[in-house]
Amino acid sequence: FNFPFPTTPYQAAQSSFGSFETSPLLGSKLKVSQEIRSGVLQKAEGTETYDYRALLSPEAGASVRVLYSLTLESSSPGVIPANVNSPKGIFYEAVHDSDGIKNQETISAALEKAVDAIDPVAKPEAAKEFANLVHVIEQGNKIDILAAYTAAQSKTAKNLFLDGLLYAGSAESVEAAAELLSSKSIPEESALLWYLDLNFVKHVSRGSLTSLLPLLSGDKVPYQAYLGIGSVAGKFCLQHPQLCETSPEYKQLLARLAAPLAGG
């Protein structure tokens, strides 16, 4: 599109929460102001402006403004006094799917549908069923994920499950994958690919870091492990900057990653 007025680019993103789209015909602006005294928020105001230009004429269309404000009416000393002399930070974290929503039965059922869609021949719904398997694994906890893998009978089911686990990218799926790698349940050739694909993990927790520590033990740790696990450590800092320098799990993993450089 080549409009004679400012517009926004078109983008479409698919996530586990649904589809999100922008329109080249719709532009938006957000302005927020806050008034703080002695560390206490006194007033906050926000203005959202939406400009819709469905026609080529810049004058044609519609604009919508949304105004809202929040004002402190009164305050009184509490039982616990607020310490406003030390700096505080506000951290915004991207929304993650809740772990543990799906149990073993749900994961196994999704796996069965995915296997039926490709075995003995691939069906039109194969991609859809595999995407659903990935989504279900993403919402499972470590125990249920491992139980579903153990319950898988055929080689096709186990291989398809491992593919889905690779793309799930949740903190719990990372812990499950780390246990499978530690127990040599994943063939060595596939393990090297797994290490590199850790770069695509979506969410990292302190439990994820702890689960990856054993994979850096021994004399013959592949360089792919350092690359992939190092990427996970970096993503932990991006997602949890307030924990990056204080988390003992992160410090332990960082020391293990740096050991070869120190001759350890």
Cα of 22 vs its chain's centroid, Å = 21
Judge whether residue 19 has pLDDT over 60.
no
The overall pTM is greater than 0.95: no
Judge whether residue 188 has pLDDT over 70.
yes
Average pLDDT over residues 101-129: 89
Domain 104-263: CATH architecture, name and number where available: Alpha Horseshoe (1.25)
Under a CB-based contact definition with an 8 Å cutoff, are residues 125 and 159 in contact?
no
Under a CB-based contact definition with an 8 Å cutoff, are residues 218 and 181 in contact?
no
State the pLDDT confidence band at 76, using cuts at 50, 70 and 90: confident
- The pLDDT of residue 151 is 92
Residue 63 per-residue DSSP state: E
- The pLDDT of residue 1 is 46
Average pLDDT over residues 210-235: 89
Instruction: Tell the burial category of 221 from Cβ atoms under 10 Å away from its Cβ (0-12, 13-18, 19+).
Output: middle
**Pairing status of strand 12-15 against strand 26-37:** unpaired
State the pLDDT confidence band at 113, using cuts at 50, 70 and 90: very high
**Domain residue spans of the chain:** 26-71, 104-263
